[in-house]
Amino acid sequence: MQEEKFITIQGNNLRYFEYGTSSNTVIFVHGLGASAERWEYVIPYFRKNYRVIALDLPGFGLSDKHPIDYTIDFFVRSLSEFIDKLGIQNSILIGSSLGGQIITELAIAEHKLINKLVLVSPSGVVNYSTSVLDAYIGAAISPNQENARKAFFMMNGQNKDVDSKIVDDFITRMNMPNAKKAFLSAIISNKESKISCEKLANVSIPSLIIWGEHDPVIPKENAELFFSCIKNCQFVEMKECGHTPFVEEPEKFSKIVLEFLKEK
């Protein structure tokens, strides 16, 4: 059974789900405009052997959306305090897109909090926009069935069907008070927040980079910076996947990550 909980972090009421009681904790961190539910397809594979936590970042999901600047530094501080308040040690962090950038920055600043790192098409390296990202931003600003379905269809990268629940949940979240402001603030505030090779060289914990072969949001060529600059890093390209391989191929994704987590 999943358990929905709330906790106050950096003055924000944050929602999260928690499963299991293992001493080994996996924390899932979603991307821009998403929520904890984004991980629901893979959580069943992890909860068998791990304590699993999936949170709504401040400004997203059902967490508070105060009128503040949603910078990478703010997200990193929030995640650090979240881990500290829950008393989690040696956590395994799995982050997608914006979530991947956030956990990378946390690994650079406070590596002792983390045992292993899994980055799924992390942001922070692309200095240009793509037509798919533009479509996603447009869907967030005008969240209706047509715009949202088109954006998620494009993000898959291989003309795969889109789960209606994903579309409906996105529309519901983006129509919540202050949701659009938080979304746009996260984009504007982090426009200049880039991850360099020099910074990545400070990541010393075992890391796994996963990228969809046909990711149209953050193209796979951007993966090279991560796996060439992080000292202890593996790279896996998931064939026929777009920006969210954990949604498109959850069983395959989970197998890849769980094998990595078993390694000493």
* CATH, range 3-126+194-262: 3.40.50.1820
Domain limits of the chain?
3-126+194-262
What are the residue ranges in the chain where pLDDT is below 70? 1-2, 159
Q: What's the confidence (pLDDT) of residue 159?
A: 66
What distances in angstroms separate CA 181 from CA 69, 159, 186, 213, one per listed residue? 10, 30, 9, 32
Q: What's the confidence (pLDDT) of residue 113?
A: 84
Nearest to 91 by CA among 100, 82, 243: 82
* pTM recorded for the entire structure: 0.96
pLDDT digit string, tens, across residues 105-145? 999 998 888 999 999 999 998 777 789 999 999 999 999 99
Q: What's the confidence (pLDDT) of residue 2?
A: 60
